[in-house]
Structure 1
Amino acid sequence: MTDIVSRPASAEPRTPHGVPGSRTTTPGGSSRRVSWDVLRCGFVLLVMIYHSTFIGPLVYHDILPKNYTFPHQVGASLLLVLSAYFVAATVRRGGARRGATARWWWGKLARLLPAFFVATVNAWLFLRYLAPDGWYLPGKKDLLANLAMAWHWDARWGFVDGSYWTIPLQLMAFCLAAVMWKGPLGRGVALRAVIWVALLLPAVQWWFRATHETGPAYGYVVDGLGLFRWHLFVAGVAVWMYSTGRLRLPHFLAIEVLAVGQHALQTSTLDPTAGWSTDWIAVVLIGLGVAAMTLAAVGPDWGTWLPARANRLITWLAGISYGVFLTHQTVGYVVMRRAQQLGVGPTLQTGLMILTGVAAGWLLTKAVERPAHRRLMAWWDAGPGRYGRVGAPSSTNS
């Protein structure tokens, strides 16, 4: 779920918080806000720490337990909130100009998919040819299923990299945002109704699933549509709406409180014998992350408080964060396990996984994500985008 108020960028209001839209100008003259880069880097670091200290030893028992464990799934969820905020903030760029929304949508796919496809093949190769004996050995059909993002739609397919569960959810958000921005559901009362339905429907579904017998097909559809994370997209869109004056504070707080409560529900288990189980630390951290995003949206840029060198490093890391997200987990597990064979201890293994993720993410960004995005956008502008702007050429043209 994401944006969506029908208002061109040129008409962006100055908000009650003194922030023109979601962008401000830094002392250096750039409109980039380092606040968002700080958050993006922090969230990706939480993902890597969670995977390296907790999930790795949990999934692969031959990886040594870590001296420090962070067992809370927080980073990936907050990245979805952040993604929703920027979908809402950018889908309107170009305003009502013909073809602007289609170009925005294509740009999102051009940024997301090529790097994902390459990273998926890379993770498959690592597991297939470099992983220790006894690890998951995916076949060619598993690779095709992962490229098609079929994990939640068929129990036969496992992840070659568990981080990738967020990718189809983001794709659905991009498509929905593009449709809503151009339709009646993207403004006014209808938009608010969509927001509340997206919050309440998954709660009803969770209760139904917890209290009724449901077949596999039901679970495939519910999980495939990502109902268990819709509240995160709502939380991000609400931050943008509040920061631009489209939501009043009481309404904003009601949405965010319910979204965080929904996260507590969707990440809980209800066992007839063990009872209710919830990771309340993760829930609190999600709430704090949303609060930090709100401060980033309505307050001064945090980059004004940091040294110029720190700003450059943070901006660089944020720029490769998607590549880091795609490459750190499976590749990092293999690196940790092979380093362990050489006598590397648990804490250094975690450091190696993080460094490997940064290096591999930089390489994926530089060699695949950015050049593929440039070429795909050039193709769009020369082909579908050109036709979308000026119409089909006349048959009399030579």
Structure 2
Amino acid sequence: MTGIAATSDASPPRLVELDALRGIAALAVALYHFTTEYSDLYGHSVPLWGQVPIGKYGVQLFFAISGFVILMSLERITRARDFVWSRAARLYPSYWTAVVLTFTVVALFGLPDREFSLQTALINLTMFHELLRVPHVDTVYWTLTIELSFYLLMFVLASARALPKVIPIFIALVALQTLAELAAQAMGMLFVARLASRPHLQFFALGVLAFQQSRGRVSVPSALALVGVCFAHEVLVGSNAPLPVFGVVLGLAHALSRGSLRWLNWRPLLFMGFISYPFYLVHQNIGYVVIRRLEAAGWRPEAAIAVAFAVGLLLATFITYRVEQPALRGYRQWRRKAQVRTAVSPHVA
């Protein structure tokens, strides 16, 4: 899930359009989970007034936002390893809180096929549990593995001082990913094909391109080449999103690069974007528990969904202000003290 806000010691002004897009993506994914996916998994007590099957593709928008934000974040640091610490401070406190809350709620109230052992929950705390073939305490965590893979790639590029060449590098990477998937499919190696498709590089690439375009660093031929290989991937290989989704994300990324989305400054939407990471982490299974309980008590599905949204928003607000923001403030204070020590030590010596 997660399009994740960039942080820095200087606390630069937030780009409101990024928060707005995060808010839209988070709302879309939650609507999909509470309507279409819940209907598929458990069935609502009575037919819904409407469903939002396209909401699941908010994840692709999150990936593009991450491409933009992470490259922006890397420009604000002087050492690549500081990127690791800043990401950890941003990701883990909220994630640990979400794992504990979700595991506890499901253990207490039950949720068919989504109840796991304490050992599974503890391994989930690493955020690398999928690599160990340990199930997710909440299935939305699958995107975190994708995000971490992208962060690792960007860390390697930053460490190698290759960020100025990030566009040609992504052209090559997306092309190689496409060729690998096509070759695996041709040889009947479906597992390898699915594995190769996991990075979702084509959507991260759109965000990377948008950031570079916003800084005026991309030539038209390079931009067209990157969009071309990403489009070729979607046409020749496909992904878990239909082709029109690629077009929508591309259009939003391009508008973001040109500053054309600054009108998205509706306060509730910006607030939704501000709390979107914790909301994404806690909304699904806890929301399912709320919906099951209320519908069993005779509530209309729409009313139960509204309460599930409210619970998710309250939990996300609590995590944002009581866990995430204090953790970030603590990290920034630690960084400032470390910088002071580094600046003073040569004079002391």
TM over 0.5: yes
1:266 is displaced (CA, Å) by 5.7
Looking at structure 1, the residues matched to 232 and 315 of structure 2 have their Cα atoms a distance apart, in angstroms, of 36
Cα contact 2:171–2:229 (8 A) shared by 1: no
Cα contact 1:264–1:279 (8 A) shared by 2: no
Looking at structure 1, the residues matched to 275 and 319 of structure 2 have their Cα atoms a distance apart, in angstroms, of 8
| SS of residue paired to 2:135 | coil
1:329 is displaced (CA, Å) by 0.8
* Structure-2 change in CA distance of 1:147 and 1:291 (3 Å): same
* Structure-2 change in CA distance of 1:311 and 1:69 (3 Å): closer
Residue 120 of structure 1 pairs with residue 99 of structure 2: yes
Other-structure match for 1:185: 162
Residue 243 of structure 1 pairs with residue 222 of structure 2: no
* Structure-2 change in CA distance of 1:260 and 1:365 (3 Å): farther
Q: Which TM-score applies when normalising by structure 2?
A: 0.84
1:239 is displaced (CA, Å) by 1.0
Cα contact 2:60–2:203 (8 A) shared by 1: yes
1:231 is displaced (CA, Å) by 1.6
Provide the aligned C-alpha RMSD in A.
3.0
Matches within 5 A, 1:1-398: 31-61=13-43, 66-72=48-54, 73-94=56-77, 97=78, 99=79, 101-132=80-111, 134-155=112-133, 157-188=134-165, 191-212=166-187, 214=189, 222=195, 227-263=198-234, 268=239, 280=242, 283-300=243-260, 302-303=262-263, 311-383=266-338, 385-386=339-340, 389-390=342-343
Cα contact 1:77–1:232 (8 A) shared by 2: yes
* % same residue: 22
Cα contact 2:167–2:209 (8 A) shared by 1: no
Residue identity matched to 1:334: V
Mean Cα displacement is larger for which, 31-40 or 288-297? Answer: 31-40
Cα contact 1:146–1:160 (8 A) shared by 2: yes
| SS of residue paired to 2:149 | helix
Looking at structure 2, the residues matched to 211 and 78 of structure 1 have their Cα atoms a distance apart, in angstroms, of 30
Residue identity matched to 2:28: L
Mean Cα displacement is larger for which, 206-215 or 285-294? Answer: 206-215
* Structure-2 change in CA distance of 1:39 and 1:340 (3 Å): same
| SS of residue paired to 2:76 | coil
1:143 is displaced (CA, Å) by 0.8
Looking at structure 1, the residues matched to 46 and 162 of structure 2 have their Cα atoms a distance apart, in angstroms, of 51
Cα contact 2:206–2:227 (8 A) shared by 1: yes
* Structure-2 change in CA distance of 1:48 and 1:382 (3 Å): same
Q: Which TM-score applies when normalising by structure 1?
A: 0.74
Cα contact 2:124–2:137 (8 A) shared by 1: yes
Looking at structure 1, the residues matched to 291 and 244 of structure 2 have their Cα atoms a distance apart, in angstroms, of 30
Cα contact 1:239–1:252 (8 A) shared by 2: no
Cα contact 2:290–2:307 (8 A) shared by 1: yes
Structure 2: 5+ residue stretches without partners: 1-11
Looking at structure 2, the residues matched to 170 and 228 of structure 1 have their Cα atoms a distance apart, in angstroms, of 8
Looking at structure 2, the residues matched to 47 and 266 of structure 1 have their Cα atoms a distance apart, in angstroms, of 24
1:297 is displaced (CA, Å) by 2.4
Cα shift readout 1:220-257 (whole Å, capped 9, x = no counterpart): 9x37xx74412221111011112222112343233224
1:166 is displaced (CA, Å) by 1.9
| SS of residue paired to 2:119 | helix
Looking at structure 1, the residues matched to 224 and 105 of structure 2 have their Cα atoms a distance apart, in angstroms, of 45
Cα shift readout 1:2-43 (whole Å, capped 9, x = no counterpart): xxxxxxxxxxxxxxxxxxxxxxxxxxxx95443222212111
1:279 is displaced (CA, Å) by 5.3
| SS of residue paired to 1:302 | coil
Provide the aligned length of Structure 1 versus Structure 2: 337
Looking at structure 1, the residues matched to 139 and 335 of structure 2 have their Cα atoms a distance apart, in angstroms, of 32
Looking at structure 1, the residues matched to 238 and 190 of structure 2 have their Cα atoms a distance apart, in angstroms, of 21
| SS of residue paired to 2:162 | helix
* Structure-2 change in CA distance of 1:187 and 1:34 (3 Å): closer
* Structure-2 change in CA distance of 1:301 and 1:229 (3 Å): closer
Looking at structure 2, the residues matched to 46 and 163 of structure 1 have their Cα atoms a distance apart, in angstroms, of 13
Looking at structure 2, the residues matched to 380 and 77 of structure 1 have their Cα atoms a distance apart, in angstroms, of 33
Residue identity matched to 1:116: Y
* Structure-2 change in CA distance of 1:32 and 1:193 (3 Å): closer
Cα shift readout 1:262-316 (whole Å, capped 9, x = no counterpart): 3466655xxxxxxxxx753xx313321331232122134533xx7xxx6333322
